[in-house]
Structure 1
Amino acid sequence: MKQSEDIQKAVECMRKGGVILYPTDTVWGIGCDATNAEAVARVYKIKHRDDSKALICLVDSDARLQRYVRNIPNVAWDLIDAVDKPTTIILDNAVNLAHNLIADDGSIGMRITNEPFSHELCFRFQKPVVSTSANISGNPAAQNFCDIDPELLSAVDYVCESRRNEHKPHKPSSIIKLSEKGEVTVIRK
């Protein structure tokens, strides 16, 4: 299957409220429409994860990020330009997202992806895509498709074909929290 066809099927699935398994700029991810609270609730259920633990989202561009976070501090743009590996930034004042995706303090973890598959997926979907590691909560993240628990494969609505044969090490993203005032806290290096 061509990558473009794979992406189209994943987009159609998410538009219908479905949950997907897909390759990202880091590890394999479980994804859905970040504006659909029912889909987000399914992701928590599939992962056996407490919904008080936040999930992150991928977007394809600066412009898309600005639609879902109000008042992004200037230091965030400097950080996005400076990093050379996938970095998730937790930002205050999340808007226009599913209520059960936003942390109690109003923040959201967002990452602009440049990896070809996940970037094109986000671009074609035209909204943020939930991106949480493809694993049952407490188990190791699936670095490659072959690492994904069969329970997850049967629990989602669509499993992407792209990059299934890849066998190389992948790491979760770095996570940095930025307050509205520009205070920086490193959560995960």
Structure 2
Amino acid sequence: MEDQASGVARVLLAGGVALVPAEGVYGLVADARRPDAVARIRTLKGRDAAKPMLGLIRLWRDAEAWAESIPTWAAQLEEDALPVTLLLRATNGAPEALVGPEGLIGLRVPADPFGRALVDALGAPVVSTSANLSGEPAATRVEDVPLAVRQRLDATVDGGPLAGAPSSIVRWEGREADGARAEIVREGAVDRATLERLMGR
């Protein structure tokens, strides 16, 4: 797996786009520092330029320059390898491709082994989005990804059939000391009860 991740990392460093197994579904990935590659992903998916994509990071402390505030319980997500994406208020230094119209950035420390290996091998944040065309169901097998998309990729990692449950999403704004606001946007691979326990509700 580490060899595959290293190979994909080399592709991303060169500005390529790859198809890889992610949290329950297949995703398209690119180096977050390569706006040309990010633009290719948008074209491949037919994705609206106003819709942000996800950033995969190695550790939550790596996001401190991109997010105004990160909840202390994010460390538990990292320790337990829980697939939870946090929507956080972005700083001015956050990559434009990851910031939505509301000024929020979506970030996740990968819970799946390949995702962790890829971020480690690249040594930089990875832009990720589900590999389906916009508006279509997520792909749980490589062959579910449209052939027209697969033929235009620079690398593909086939991890076999995936579970189909995407990451859960929590929106977090403000600072804990001031009574931050938390909202469960999507109950995915991590159920609501677990999310609420983590957030101390």
The residue type equivalent to 1:12 in the other structure is: R
Contact 2:65–2:94 at 8 Å: present in 1 too? no
TM-score (ref. length: structure 2): 0.81
CA shift for structure 1 position 16: 1.1
SS in 2 for 1:176: strand
Q: For residue 19 of structure 1, what is the aligned residue in structure 2?
A: 17
State the partner residue of 1:175.
169
Asked whether the equivalents of residues 69 and 173 of structure 2 are also in contact (C-alpha less than 8 Å), the reply is no
Please tell me whether the aligned partners of residues 94 and 102 of structure 1 are also in contact (alpha carbons under 8 angstroms): no
* 1:140 counterpart = 2:137: yes
**Alignment coverage as a number of residue pairs:** 183
Which of 34, 37, 40 pairs up with 1:36? 34
76 and 114 in structure 1: CA distance in 2 versus 1, 3 angstrom threshold: closer
Distance 1:25 1:66 in 2: 23
- Structure 2 alignment gaps of length 5 or more: 188-201
Q: How does 1:13-92 map to 2 (within 5 A)?
A: 13-74=11-72, 76-77=74-75, 80=77, 85-92=82-89
Which residue is 2:190 aligned to? none
Separation in 2, partners of 1:62, 1:174: 16
Within 2, Cα distance between the matches of 1:31 and 1:84? 20
Name the CA distance, whole Å, in 2 between partners of 1:86 and 1:104: 24
What amino acid maps onto 1:55 in structure 2? Answer: M
> Is 1:93 matched with 2:90?
yes
**Gap regions ≥5 residues in structure 1:** none
Deviation by residue 1:102-156 (Cα, 9 ceiling, x = unmatched): 1133321111113111101001111111121111111111112232211111122
CA distance in 1, matches of 2:33, 2:103: 15
- Secondary structure of the structure 1 residue equivalent to 2:171: strand
State the percentage of identical aligned residues: 28
CA distance in 2, matches of 1:123, 1:29: 17
1:187 aligned residue (185, 188, 196) = 185
Taking structure 1 as reference, are residues 32 and 95 closer, same or farther at Cα in structure 2, changes over 3 Å only? Answer: farther
Matched AA of 1:20: A
Range with greater deviation from structure 2 (12-21 or 81-90) = 81-90
Q: In angstroms, what is the RMSD of aligned CA positions?
A: 2.2
Task: Report the more deviating stretch, 27-36 or 67-76.
Answer: 67-76
Give the Cα separation in 2 of the matches to 1:127 and 1:67.
Answer: 13
Q: Given the superposition, is the C-alpha separation of residues 14 and 82 from structure 1 closer, same or farther in structure 2, using an over 3 Å criterion?
A: closer
SS in 2 for 1:25: coil
Q: Could you tell me which of 131, 135, 159 is aligned with 2:156?
A: 159
Q: After TM superposition, give the deviation of residue 83 of structure 1 in Å.
A: 7.4
Normalised by the length of structure 1, the TM-score is: 0.85
* 1:110 alignment partner AA: L
DSSP 3-state at the match of 1:74: coil
